[in-house]
Amino acid sequence: MRVTVIGTGYVGTVTGACLAYLGHRVTCVDTDRSKIEKLRRGEPPIYEPGLEELIVFANEHGGIDFETELESSVRESDVIFIAVGTPPLPSGESNLSYLENAARGIGAAMDSSRFRVVVNKSTVPVGSGNLVEALVREGIGESHPDLSGAVRFGVASNPEFLREGSAIHDSLYPDRIVVGADDPATLEMMRQLYGALIEQQFIEPSFAPRPANLQSAIREIPLVATTITSAEMIKYSANAFLALKIGFANEMANICERVGADVTEVMTGIGLDWRIGRGFLNAGIGWGGSCFGKDISSLLHTAAEYGYQARILEASLAVNRMQRSVVIQKLQEKLYILKGRTIALLGLAFKPNTDDLRDAPSLQIAEKLIQMGVRVRVYDPVAMNACREQYPDLRITYCMDALSAADRADALVLVTEWPEFASLNLKQLAGRMNQAVLIDGRNFFQPRQAREAGFEYAGIGRAISRPAGNGHPDARPVAAAVPSAD
Ligand code: NAD
């Protein structure tokens, strides 16, 4: 099929490249000229493992190109994806201005030569399907009023569930594909578009191997066909629930700390119950990223529009906000006075394997520490350039590696659990520091190892000691960290 993807951010670029990899002919469009120029040179504008290679393959398979204008590709396309940003307004509601512009532009470019489907891939509040339909019609009416009645199109909602950092894997091997469509022709077109994905009829790329559960001959990705409204709600509901799970683990961690329990043991203990599941129950310094906060705020706003106060969602946001201050409290407990100290942060990105800094806990922690008179040194394997560019006024010192960040620091805070930090030589790190204090904001290190290396260690919700004879939490490996989603 001919496909246009509008927006070449984290979602649009990956979606476009994956669809081309599956054999479709894709044009990705963005109003940001610099992103398009980079993509034309084969450089993804974002850090996403495997994306550069995927774009090369995408070119060899269905073919992919990058444009700043949408007219010609929309005219030739069967399916047009909208994957633009929907950032929050101060009121919490979603800013739909990018979506609105895209929808009008699509309408203006359409002609009567074929039936097309306009797909909302952006996360958009209930009612956005109707809004897009109305704006596409407006666009058609404005640019060719004579054609208005003859232009045929359907609107679908196809929310995205990829996780930054494993976006290609998630797009090629999704748990499910949700398609909200209110007419059979639109649904059928989406079914065709995703046919090869649903049946897994494509050769797995070397950098994104097919998972074991999809290796058998009888394999199919479930397509959940719903109304547009249900599809829009599915995305918000999924993100609200995921954030809630993390918030729950954090709340349990705060109680565990007070009563002398270890939250990783507690979460493993409850997570083995299939009704609960272990995923997303890792305690830490709270979730971040561009999605959870904005989506929960948007859902709260929608609920309020309908006269409903969503108290669980309110609490979920409040618990997360509070959790970010836990690092500061722990530093105060260990160092008493923070003014004049040097504190090193390991990690800036809101989670590993991405350069995304949107709503990253690191920024809030760094700002708070600076405000308190602390000198902040940071190291992140990927996100330092993005941070320099996006926050030029942030008074932090960027370091070339973890060791130089720790040099003569009074405390080290693990903010992002980058896999490479697992191979740090903790003894060497502790030896470099003024005071070997380690606040492990992601329960990433083994407490016993950290203490043996000479650190005064504090994790999140991990009891410092327990009565003798009861076994020791450090004796067991920590449950593997579950990567977080958006
Ligand atoms: P992003 O900010 O990285 O990218 C959006 C892109 O859209 C930008 O490059 C911008 O220049 C472009 N754009 C804006 N208006 C445009 C227009 N009229 N024409 C062409 N391009 C235009 O955003 P993102 O992270 O990719 O998110 C996109 C949507 O997907 C959001 O609604 C988000 O909530 C949702 N989503 C994001 C993720 C994620 O992990 N980032 C996951 C699932 C869903």
Mark whether 278 and 183 lie in a shared domain.
Answer: no
Mapped onto helix, strand or coil, the DSSP state of residue 6 is strand
- Protein residue with least CA distance to atom 3, ligand 1: 9
Domain membership flag for residue 232? no
Domain membership flag for residue 222? yes
- 106 in ligand 1 pocket by Cβ < 6 Å? no
Domain membership flag for residue 95? yes
What pLDDT sits at residue 480?
Answer: 39
Mapped onto helix, strand or coil, the DSSP state of residue 444 is coil
* Across 240-266, average pLDDT: 97
Mark whether 10 and 47 lie in a shared domain.
Answer: yes
Query: Over the stretch 17-71, which tens digit does the pLDDT of each residue have?
Result: 999 999 999 999 999 999 999 999 999 999 999 999 999 999 999 899 999 999 9
The arrangement of strands across the sheet holding 223-226 comes to: 64-67, 25-29, 2-6, 79-82, 115-120, 152-157, 177-181, 223-226
Q: What is the CA radius of gyration of the chain?
A: 24
Mark whether 272 and 342 lie in a shared domain.
Answer: yes
The DSSP-derived string for 224-274 is: EEE-HHHHHHHHHHHHHHHHHHHHHHHHHHHHHHHHT-BHHHHHHHHHTST
Query: Residue 278 — very low, low, confident or very high, per pLDDT cuts 50/70/90?
Result: very high
- Tell me, in angstroms, the distance from the centre of ligand 1 to residue 476's CA: 42
- 160 in ligand 1 pocket by Cβ < 6 Å? yes
Q: Which of 117, 118, 123 is nearest to 102 (CA)?
A: 118
Query: Residue 466 — very low, low, confident or very high, per pLDDT cuts 50/70/90?
Result: low
Mark whether 132 and 221 lie in a shared domain.
Answer: yes
Q: Which domain holds residue 11?
A: 2-226
- Tell me, in angstroms, the distance from the centre of ligand 1 to residue 326's CA: 31
Pairing of strands 223-226, 177-181: parallel
Mark whether 352 and 433 lie in a shared domain.
Answer: yes
CATH code at 176? 3.40.50.720
Mark whether 358 and 216 lie in a shared domain.
Answer: no
Instruction: Give the whole-number percent of the chain exceeding pLDDT 90.
Output: 92
* Across 167-188, average pLDDT: 98
Domain membership flag for residue 114? yes
Asked whether 19 and 11 are in contact (CB, 8 A), the reply is: no
Which of 226, 257, 286 finishes a domain? 226
Number of structural domains (the chain) is: 2
Mark whether 284 and 399 lie in a shared domain.
Answer: yes
Residue tagged 């083994």 (tokens): 446
Domain membership flag for residue 130? yes
Mark whether 138 and 278 lie in a shared domain.
Answer: no
Mark whether 216 and 358 lie in a shared domain.
Answer: no
Mark whether 318 and 212 lie in a shared domain.
Answer: no
What pLDDT sits at residue 147?
Answer: 79
Q: What is the pTM for the complete model shown?
A: 0.93
Mark 242-272 as b/e (b = at least 16 C-beta within 10 Å). Answer: bbbbbbbbbbbbbebbeeebbbbbbbeebbe
Domain membership flag for residue 317? yes
Asked whether 398 and 436 are in contact (CB, 8 A), the reply is: no
Domain membership flag for residue 463? no
Q: Could you give phi then psi for residue 327, rounded to 5 degrees?
A: -60, -45
Query: Over the stretch 353-363, which tens digit does the pLDDT of each residue have?
Result: 999 999 999 99
Mark whether 186 and 312 lie in a shared domain.
Answer: no
Domain membership flag for residue 322? yes
Asked whether 231 and 179 are in contact (CB, 8 A), the reply is: yes
Mark whether 124 and 194 lie in a shared domain.
Answer: yes
Query: Residue 170 — very low, low, confident or very high, per pLDDT cuts 50/70/90?
Result: very high
- 101 in ligand 1 pocket by Cβ < 6 Å? yes
- 12 in ligand 1 pocket by Cβ < 6 Å? yes
Active site residues: 291
Asked whether 53 and 205 are in contact (CB, 8 A), the reply is: yes
What pLDDT sits at residue 476?
Answer: 43
Question: Which residues partner with 177 through β-bridges?
Answer: 223
Helices and strands: H and E segment counts in the chain:
19, 14
